[in-house]
Amino acid sequence: MNTFRTGFLMALLTAIFVTAGFLIGGPGGMTIAFLFAVGMNFFAYWNSDRVVLSIYHAQEVNEATAPRLYRIVRRLAENANLPMPKVCIVENPQPNAFATGRDPAHAAVCATTGILERLSDEELAGVLAHELGHVKNRDTLTMTITATIAGAVSMLANFAFFFGGNDRRNPLGMVGVILVAILAPVAAMLVQMSLSRAREYEADKAGAEISGHPLWLAAALDKISHAAGQIENRAADDHPATAHMFIINPLHGGFAGLFSTHPPTEERIARLKAMAGTPADRIKGPWG
C-alpha cells in the first residue's frame, strides 16, 4: 500500500511540475519540465535523504559521541525489530526531530540540540519511538521524496515569477506566470497536507507501541509544541517543503498556520491518553 501511495504521490507532484512548465514555456517548457521531473524522481529516490540531512547540517553520532541519544535509539530499534538507523544531531535551538531514508535499512533518525536539552529520557524515548514508527511504517521514503519534489515545485514557481513573463512561448503570458507563482507551491503544500496528517497519527500510535508508554510521547508533544512556537527554526523557514518531516510543525508565520502539515497537537495528545487507558493497546517496551 505504501508503495502505491509513494508512486501516486510522485506522479501527482510530477503532474504539478509539468503543468507549471507548460504555463511558463508552452509545449517546449512542458517537455523540459517532464524530463527534469523524471530525473528528479530518480534522484529523489536514491538521494533525497542526503539532501535533507545536508539542508539541516545533520551530524552523524555514535555511542562514544552521543551516548544518551544513541543508546535510547538502539533500545527502541531493538524493541521494534528494526535495523539500527543512523543517529544524527542537528544544531538547532528549537526542540524537534525527524526521520529520513528510503527504507528501514537506510534510515536516519535526527534530533535537534534543543530537544536533547529540554526533554527527559522518557520523553525523548517517546519522540524517537515516534520517528521509528515512521521508519517501521515505511513513511520516510514518501516524506523525503515529497520534501524534495515540493521544494523543486516552489523553485520553479520562483523561476516563473522572475523569468517567465518575458518568454514568448508562455501561452498565457503574465497570467500564466502568476498562476504558477501562486498556485504551484500551494498545490504542492496541499499534497503534503493530505498525506502528512494521517501519517502523524499512525506514527504516534506505532511510537507508543514501540516504547510501551503512550504518555511519554504525549508529554513530549506538549513540551515541544509550546517551545517550538516560541523558538525559530531558520533552516525550516528557508525550506518549508521539509516541514512535514518534523514531529511538530517547525515553521513560523506565513502559511505556517494556514497550511499546517500537522494535525492539532491537542488531538494527538488526546489519542495517546486514550491509548494509555486501554490495556490491550499497551505492550511491554524496553523500559518495562
Annotated catalytic residues are: 131
98-125: b (≥16 Cβ within 10 Å) or e? bbbbbebebbbbbbbebbbebbeebbbb
Sign (positive or negative) of CA dihedral 282, 129, 221, 288: positive
CA distance 175 to 170: 9
Q: If residue 214 lies in a helix (H) or strand (E), which one and from where to where?
A: helix 214-228
End-to-end Cα spacing for the chain: 33
Query: 18 pairs with which residues across the strands?
Result: none
Name the phi and psi angles at 171, rounded to 5: -70, -25
